[in-house]
A and B are shown apart, each in its own frame.
Chain A
C-alpha cells in the first residue's frame, strides 16, 4: 500500500531534487491514508535517518557497491525487487536524468502506468489523475493511471520540500544485483555547482554577451543569487559555453522559480525550454526583443552596465559584503 520514493544519490550524497520528491510522496501518503517510505541504492555517506524530516517513515537502503553508479538496467531490476518487498503501490521519482533513465524501464517491467514530469498532486477522487507538462510548456495534460502500481516522476521545483523533525528507520536491504553491462570509461562532473535542471534560480546569457570572455558578469550575478548558469543555443553552438548549459527546445528544458535572461532575444525554440519557469526576468538592449512578451519583469538597456549593478543590489539584499 505504501508510497515508495526513490531517493537519488550522487557520490554518496542525496540529491536536492530528491527532497522535493520525498515531501511530495509523503503528501500523497497522507492523502491516501498510507505511509511514505524511501529507497536508496548504493553506498552513501549521508545520514539516511534524516530523510524522516521529509515525512518518510522507513528508508530501504541497498548498500551494494555495484549500485554506486547508474546503470538503467541494473537499477530497474533492483528497484523492482524493493517495490515487491515493500508492497508499494505508488512510486515517486524526481524527474531528473536518472529518473528518465529508469522510471520508463520500471514502468514496462512492472506494467505500472507512468506520469513523467508531474506538476501537481494526484487527484484521487476518481481514480488516480496527475497533471503534467505537455507540448514543451505550452499546455498541461491530466493523465489517469489505470494500473495497480502507479509511477509519478515529479518535475523539479513543482513541489516545495518541507523539512520537519521526523527520523526514519533505516532498513538495510539485501537483494540480488546484476553486474552492469555498461562500462563507465570516464566521467566529467562540474564539481560543487548546482545542476542546471535542479536549480531554483538560473542566470542565462545569450549572444548579447558578445563573447565568452564577458561571462564574468553572468557568473558574478549567478554567484550572488545562488543560481546555476545557462546559455542560449547560439552561445553553445559557438562553443562560448559548454553544451550542457544550453537551454531551449533542443537543449535542456528547465523550470526554475526564477530565470534571468541576459542578452537573449527569446526565439520560440528558446522559450520552449524555459517557459515553465515561474518568474522570468529579461534584460536586453532591444525593446522589441520578443522575450519581453513572455517575461514578468524587464529592463531595456545595456547588460554590461546593468548586470554589475544588479549583482551589487542582490548582494546588498542578501547582506553579502
Chain B
C-alpha cells in the first residue's frame, strides 16, 4: 500500500496580505509560511495515522515549487512519512500545471491513495484534487471528513450540500480532506531529528499547459467601522438592518 500526500505552502493564517509591483505580486517580505492547514492537519496527519495502524504502508509527501519549500517539507517529514518529493519549478500559479506535475509523480509511483487538503488558504481554488483525479482517470472523493482503509477498499464520509454521506470505493482513489479527518499534531524532537535524514528527492517538472494567468490583485475596501447600538434599543438594530443595510 502506497500513499501520496500533496502539500502546499501558504502564508500563515494571521499574515497581513499586501501586494507589490502595481498589485501584480504578493509582497512576501515579513510573511511567515506554513504548510497549508488542510494539507497538514487533515491529509498528512490522517495518512500518518493510517501508517501507524498498518506499518507496511509506504507514505510519500509531495510538493511542487522551488527550494524555498524545503523547510516546509522537512517540517512535514518531522510529523511523519518515509520520504518526500519536490517537483522543482517556480511556476506555481496555475492549478492545472501543478496538478499535471502531481499526476506525473503519481503515475510513476503507482500510489493506491492520493490525498490533498480540500483547498489551500491562499488561492482557495479547491481544484488540485479533482484535476489530479481526472488526469489519472480515478474516482475522486472531495471534502472528505473520514477515511478508513479496509484491504483495497476505502470507506469515507464526505460533505454534501446540506449534509453528509458515507462512501465506499475501491482503491486507487484521490481524496481531498477536511475537518474531522484527524486532529492537528505538533512534531516531537525525535521526529524533527529523523526528518533531517529522510530522503527529499528533487525531480524536474514535465511540460504542461497553463490554463490561467493571475493578472493582478485588489484588497477589499476598508470597513467603514462598526456602528454600535445600545443593548436597550434592539429595535434600532433591526431598523438599521432593514432600512440602512437592507439585508432583512
Cα of A145 to Cα of B212 in the assembled complex, Å? 5
Within the complex, the shortest CB–CB distance from B124 to chain A, in Å, comes to 6
On chain A, the residues within 8 Å of B139 by CB distance are: 71-73, 181-182
Flag if B229 contacts A299 (CB, 8 Å): yes
Binds A, one of B54-62, B74-82, B216-224: B216-224
- Contact digits for A307-320, partner B, Cβ 8 Å, 1 yes 0 no: 00110011011100
Q: Does B133 contact A (CB under 8 A)?
A: yes
Binds B, one of A26-34, A40-48, A290-298: A290-298
Flag if A193 contacts B214 (CB, 8 Å): no
- Contact digits for B32-54, partner A, Cβ 8 Å, 1 yes 0 no: 00000110010000000000000
- Contact digits for B118-129, partner A, Cβ 8 Å, 1 yes 0 no: 110111111111
Flag if A104 contacts B129 (CB, 8 Å): yes
Flag if B162 contacts A193 (CB, 8 Å): yes
Flag if A114 contacts B234 (CB, 8 Å): no
Cα of A243 to Cα of B144 in the assembled complex, Å? 12
Cα of A277 to Cα of B234 in the assembled complex, Å? 21
Q: Does B164 contact A (CB under 8 A)?
A: yes
Flag if B218 contacts A10 (CB, 8 Å): no
- Contact digits for B86-121, partner A, Cβ 8 Å, 1 yes 0 no: 000000000110010000000000000000001101
Flag if A113 contacts B211 (CB, 8 Å): yes
Q: A97-B159, A138-B17 are in contact. Are A295 and B226 (CB under 8 A)?
A: yes
Flag if B167 contacts A185 (CB, 8 Å): yes
- Contact digits for A112-139, partner B, Cβ 8 Å, 1 yes 0 no: 1111110000000000010111111111
On chain A, the residues within 8 Å of B210 by CB distance are: 146
Flag if A105 contacts B131 (CB, 8 Å): yes
Q: A72-B139, A107-B131, A186-B166 are in contact. Are A143 and B213 (CB under 8 A)?
A: yes
Q: Does A109 contact B (CB under 8 A)?
A: yes
Flag if B248 contacts A314 (CB, 8 Å): yes
Within the complex, the shortest CB–CB distance from A95 to chain B, in Å, comes to 9
- Contact digits for B155-174, partner A, Cβ 8 Å, 1 yes 0 no: 10001111111111110000
Judged by DSSP, the binding face of A is mixed
Tell me the nearest residue of chain B to A132, going by C-beta. Answer: B124
Flag if B124 contacts A116 (CB, 8 Å): yes
Contact of A300 among B99, B228, B237 (CB under 8 A): B228
Flag if A258 contacts B241 (CB, 8 Å): yes
Contact of A183 among B13, B135, B167, B179 (CB under 8 A): B167
Q: A97-B159, A105-B134 are in contact. Are A306 and B17 (CB under 8 A)?
A: no
Contact of A249 among B37, B96, B235 (CB under 8 A): B37
Q: Does A164 contact B (CB under 8 A)?
A: no
Flag if A306 contacts B134 (CB, 8 Å): no
Q: A201-B248, A279-B247, A317-B248 are in contact. Are A182 and B167 (CB under 8 A)?
A: yes
Flag if B13 contacts A269 (CB, 8 Å): yes
Within 8 A of A (CB), among B197-234: 209-220, 223-224, 226-231, 234
On chain B, the residues within 8 Å of A98 by CB distance are: 160-161
Chain A CB within 10 Å, residue with most, of B96, B138, B143, B240: B96
Q: Does B11 contact A (CB under 8 A)?
A: yes
Tell me the nearest residue of chain B to A287, going by C-beta. Answer: B228
Within 8 A of A (CB), among B178-197: 178-180
Flag if A294 contacts B17 (CB, 8 Å): no
Within the complex, the shortest CB–CB distance from A65 to chain B, in Å, comes to 17
Q: Does B238 contact A (CB under 8 A)?
A: yes
Q: A105-B140, A146-B210 are in contact. Are A184 and B231 (CB under 8 A)?
A: no
Tell me the nearest residue of chain A to B235, going by C-beta. Answer: A313
Contact of A292 among B17, B212, B226, B247 (CB under 8 A): B226
Q: Does A100 contact B (CB under 8 A)?
A: yes
Q: Which residues of B contact A (CB under 8 A)?
A: 11, 13-14, 17, 19, 37-38, 41, 95-96, 99, 118-119, 121-131, 133-135, 137-143, 145, 155, 159-170, 178-180, 209-220, 223-224, 226-231, 234-235, 237-238, 240-242, 245, 247-248
Q: Knowing that A100-B126, A139-B19, A317-B238 are A-B contacts, what are 11 other residue pairs whose CB atoms are under 8 Å apart, sorted by A's residue number?
A: A15-B161, A73-B134, A104-B128, A105-B140, A187-B163, A188-B164, A249-B37, A292-B228, A297-B226, A297-B228, A300-B228
Instruction: Supply 17 A–B pairs (Cβ within 8 Å), ascending by A.
Output: A72-B130, A100-B126, A100-B143, A104-B99, A104-B125, A111-B209, A111-B211, A113-B96, A116-B124, A181-B139, A182-B169, A187-B160, A246-B179, A278-B245, A297-B240, A306-B234, A310-B238
